[in-house]
Every structure is written in C-alpha cells, then in structure tokens.
Structure 1
Amino acid sequence: MDAPVHFFGPLRCLECGASHPVAEGVADLVVDPAASGPLQRGMEQRWVARSYERYMRPVLQRALTRQPLDGDSEFLLYRSLLGTPAAPVLDVGCGTGLLARRLAREPDMAPVAAMDLSRAMLEEGVAQAREAGVGVDFLRAEAPYLPFQDGTLGAVLMSDALPFVADLSRMLLEVHRVLRPGGRWVASTYAPPKAPRALLHRGVGLHPRGEAELRREAAAAGFVRFERVSLPPLLVVKAEKGSAETPR
C-alpha cells in the first residue's frame, strides 16, 4: 500500500495558478474582500471571537429572533433537516464553528468543513476544535462564492448566516452548484421587521427574508422539496438539489 502524500505550504489553484496561504490552521481563499457592514466588521475583533459562543451569539440571536432556541434544540433541528449527507458538509458563516464541531462528533458523519470571512472567528474556531479533539477543516472565503467544485458536497448549512448575504440569488446558485443530487441546503433567517427597524437592520449589513422570497429564489436556483420550520420571527428552511428527472 502506498504511503499517504502530505502537502505543505500554500494552496495553489491548478487552473489559474493562484496561491492562497494557510496559517494557524486556516486556508485563506479571500483575494479582494468586498466592503462589509458594521456588524461584520465587529466580528473581526478578537475579543468578540473569544466571547462569541458564550455571550455574543446568544445576545445577537435574542436581539434578532426574540426567543432563540436553546443550544441542544437548535442543533437537533439542524441535524434532523440535514439528514444523512453522503458527501462532505459545509458550514457557511460558521463563526467559531460551534455547530461544525457538534456535527463532526456525530457517528458516521461525512467530513465537515467550516467557512467564514472573519479571520478572528476562524482562528478561535481552530483552537476550539483542537481542544475538543474533533476534525473540522476551516477556510476563509467570502459568500456568496463557494470555493468547491461542482457536485462535491452532501449538504450546506447556513445557521444564522443567511441575513448577512446581500445577493440571495447568487448564493443559492452557488449552493446548488456545489451540491450533489439529493444534497440539502439548510439555513435560518428571521422575518423582515417593519420600518423604521428595517432601515436600521439594512444599515448594519443585515438582509432578513420571508418565506415567500426564500421559496421563490430556491425554486429559481433549481431546488426542490422546499420545507420550512416557522418559529416567528425565526425561520428555518430546507431544500434539496434534485436529479435531472426530479420535477420542481
């Protein structure tokens, strides 16, 4: 049996020749980051990353959804909607990788990758994963673009990340592209508030959506079997990438 081959140094794209650094356990695939809102900029602060799971995330969830699920209920909901992925799972907007770590502990779970734009969050995520002794691959990349080949993922999870995405159509097209047939997209958001709060949310870089818009955009991207769990104002959705024969 041949010995495994280990590669060191930066990642290199075989098609374009671009080189991407790997440091502190994080593959950095961001080339030219777009301007971010105040909330996203706050996520780059190291003190925010260190306190994110215990303090900042619960506070943010309560501010946006009023009555957030407890940690175990939240995980069980996402886990049930993800099903049994037959290929790697990508956690988009992973923060410090709280859900990614729990997924990686699941028996017979496919490999788990976690993606975020915040370097501070990812570095904290690497430290937490090492301390927990679980294997999660962390990469820095900017949604809506997903740095994976067509049809390679079994599921894409976007817990709390969807409101940070301005271009929903592009995001869903990318998710559909990287999923295998039968692969699932699971995401959460919250119902758009009424004015003047809506202007405040937009001002800090948040883009909440309702069920009708999500259902319409998911169908336009090619998804089938759209389902939702409504816990107003929290909205959790699931859709699948169908085969060529699957009717929408």
Structure 2
Amino acid sequence: MLMFGPLRCPECRASYPVAEGVADLVLEHGSAGGLQRGLESRWVARSYERHVRPALQRALLRQPLDTDSEYLLYRSLLGTPDGPVLDLGCGTGLVARRLAREPAFPLVAGQDLSPAMLEEGVAQAREAGATVDFLRAQAPALPFLDGTLGAVLMADSLHYLEDLGRLMLEVARVLRPGGRWVASTYAPPGSASGFLHRRVGLHPRAEATLRAATSAAGLVRFERVALPPLLVLKAEKGSAESLR
C-alpha cells in the first residue's frame, strides 16, 4: 500500500499526490450535486456508517437489509474473483474492509470522490486490521489497465453516477474475462419524486435500462435480485473463449 507520494504515470508522466494512504487522481473536480457535496463533509464522513448511511437507506429503500444480510448478498454474487476487486463508490470502506479481511481474498481497492470519506476509510481500515488500497478518482473513469480486475462492486452507489453508458464501458474495459460487476441501486420513484431525486444528484434507473446498458457494453449473464425498491445486479465479462 502506498502511504506517501507522489504517484507518477509512466505513460503520460503526470504526477499525483499520495498522502496517508490515499492516491489523489482528481486534477479537476467537476460539479457535484447537493447530496455529493454533503458527502464531502468531514462530519458526515465520521458519522456515515453509524447514522448517515442507514438514514439514506431508510429514505430510499423504506425497509433496507441489515448490514450482514446486505454483505452476504454482495459476497455471494461476487463469487471467487480471479484478480483484484474494486469497491467503486466505496465511501468509508464499509464493504471493502470486510472483503479484505476474508482469508485468501484478492487485493481490494476502494475508489471514491470524497476526500473526507477516504480519510475516514483509511482510519477505519487500520483499526480493523484490513489492507485496502484507497484512491480518489472521479467515476465513470476507472484508473486501471484493461483486463486487470477480477470484479467491480458498487454497493449502494450506482445511483450517484449520471453517465451510465460510459460507466459500463469502463467496467467492461477493466474486468478480466469472467470478471463480475455487482451493484445495488433502487427503482425510480414517481415522476414528481424523481425530479427531486435528480435535483440532489441521484439517478435511479429501471431494470430494463440497466440491463440494456450492460448488454451494450458487452457484459453477459445479467441477473438481478429484486427486493422492491432495492435492485441488486450482477453481470459478467465474457470468457476468453466467448470473446473470440
């Protein structure tokens, strides 16, 4: 794990700072919705796992799964990753550090945009004795080489990203053949509530939209677990044989 920087790209020769275990790859921060701005608050980050995340889940899902059931669902859909696992939109690393503590589990990386969340994630991982590589980067761009990841997990974060098409292309690019994408989101509310959700930076989609986006990116074996309004999704990058 990198603790201090800078981190240099051998191809473009760009230099990025690394401090306290977080590589910061964000050169220009694009505009963020109101909810995203709130998630960049240190107070929110420190209370995220205990108070903020449960409150958001209750507001969006009405009857969310308990933490253990939610984790077991993600874990079963991830299967046995054949390579590093990216927790995209990791927040404070609640799921990432639990994955990292599993025996013989591959390397776990956590990517998020909020510096406060990542700082809290590093502290929580140290306290838990979990090895997680944290990096700050702005999705849908994923700063990984083609075909290097065994899985990409988006636990409760898919609805924060607006450009679904580009996201899925990036996911397909970085996954190894047979690698899995696992994500959770919530079904779109009615038109009036949907407008308010978009105003604060949330982008829920219907299952048909998500299925079409994964297919357009070349991912296969789309599956979903529906616990309305919760949607948990899985898709795979085709094996080397099927890609020939």
Mapping for residues 181-192 of structure 1, pairs under 5 Å: 181-192=177-188
1:216 aligns with 2:220: no
Aligned partner of 2:78 in structure 1 is 82
Indicate the residue corresponding to 1:195 in structure 2. 191
- Which stretch shifts more, 6-15 or 60-69? 6-15
Q: Does 1:164 align with 2:181?
A: no
Of residues 36, 51, 70, the one that matches 1:40 is 36
**Deviation sequence 1:92-128 (CA, Å, 0-9, x none):** 0000000001000111100000000000000000000
> Which residue does the alignment assign to 2:222?
226
Once the two structures are superposed, the pairs formed by residues 55-66 of structure 1 within 5 Å of their partners are 55-66=51-62
Residue of structure 2 equivalent to 1:25? 21
Give SS of 2:73's match.
helix
Amino acid aligned to 1:78: Y
Q: Residue 102 of structure 2 corresponds to which residue in structure 1? A: 106
RMSD of the alignment, in Å? Answer: 1.2
Secondary structure, aligned partner of 1:196: helix
Q: Residue by residue, what CA displacement relative to the aligned partner does 1:204-236 show, whole Å, maximum 9, x if unpaired?
A: 000001110011110000000000000000000
1:41 Cα deviation (Å)?
Answer: 0.2
Aligned residue type for 1:144 = P
Structure 1: 5+ residue runs without aligned partners?
Answer: 1-5
Question: Could you tell me which of 121, 129, 151 is aligned with 2:147?
Answer: 151
Q: TM-score, normalised by structure 1?
A: 0.95
Paired position in structure 2 for 1:177: 173
Q: Does 1:135 align with 2:92?
A: no
Q: Structure 1 51/189 Cα, relative in aligned 2: closer, same or farther at 3 Å?
A: same
Query: Which one is further off, 91-100 or 237-246?
Result: 237-246
1:14 matched to 2:27? no
Residue 245 of structure 1 deviates from its aligned partner by 3.8
Number of equivalences: 242
Matches of 1:231 and 1:246, distance apart in 2: 32
Secondary structure at the counterpart of residue 219 of structure 1: helix
The percentage of counterpart residues that share the same residue type is 74
Q: Give the deviation of 1:246 after TM superposition.
A: 2.5
| Distance in 2 of aligned mates of 1:188 and 1:140 | 21
Distance of 1:216 and 1:8 partners within structure 2: 41
Give me the whole-angstrom Cα distance separating, in 2, the residues matched to 1:151 and 1:36: 29
What residue identity is the alignment partner of 1:86? D
Q: Pick from 93, 102, 105: which aligns with 1:97?
A: 93
Answer yes or no: is the 8 Å Cα contact 2:41–2:116 preserved in 1.
yes
Q: Where do 5+ consecutive residues of structure 2 fail to align?
A: none
